[in-house]
Structure 1
Amino acid sequence: MYTIIGTVTARPETRKELASLLMAQVAPTRSEAGCINYDFHVDAADPCVFVFYENWADRAALDAHLAMPHLQPLFSQLDRLLACPVEIRPLTMLSERSA
């Protein structure tokens, strides 16, 4: 399994637009081969910070996800929408997976 936390920070003036674009990615991403879970969050202290907690079957599944056509409308606007670059943090699970 390959796990990441992705953090996306909106410019204050584009927060609602970015939230909508990000939310639109949830359903198609969850149906992709290799997606174990894809959970979308907003920071409780800062409504401009969005966080994805993602588990993929392997790195290849994540790479395939990043090449999906449904992400292109989002990717083509990141410079305008984001306050800073997307942060992707890979994680290694130390505990056993819960049932």
Structure 2
Amino acid sequence: MTLTVVATITARPEFRDELASLLVAQIPPTRAEPGCINYDLYADLNDPCVFVFYENWTCPEALLEHMAVPYLTPFLSQVDRLLATPIEVRQLRMLKDTVST
């Protein structure tokens, strides 16, 4: 089952640029992971402190493996300092994959 993830990350204003750099640095190695279908980062047009990852993974196990990669450590070790709110993560499945035809 393909897994879609939408993660919303809100920076403290004074750390916005630092957080953006850490998030952008994750993109190339994550896209190269075997289970990654896409891994895209967006910035909110109305609030420059809000970032959204839109991700698709081949299976839930691929996401679990992603969460254990060492290049996430620089970001994950600083979330308390950099973020204004906890990361909001939604895991989704496409309904057409669950509907019988």
For the pair shown, which has the larger CA radius of gyration, 1 or 2? 2
Does residue 1:47 correspond to 2:84, yes or no?
no
Residue number in structure 2 paired with 1:24: 25
Look up the equivalent residue of 1:41 and give its one-letter code: Y
Query: Could you tell which deviates more after superposition, 59-68 or 85-94?
Result: 85-94
Q: What is the alpha-carbon distance in structure 2 between the residues aligned to residue 15 and residue 95 of structure 1? A: 37
Does residue 1:76 correspond to 2:74, yes or no?
no
Q: What is the alpha-carbon distance in structure 2 between the residues aligned to residue 79 and residue 51 of structure 1? A: 18
The root-mean-square deviation of aligned C-alpha atoms, in Å, is 0.9
Q: TM-score, normalised by structure 1?
A: 0.94
How many angstroms does 1:95 deviate by?
A: 4.1
Residue number in structure 1 paired with 2:63: 62
- Would you say how many aligned residue pairs link Structure 1 and Structure 2? 96
How many angstroms does 1:92 deviate by?
A: 1.7
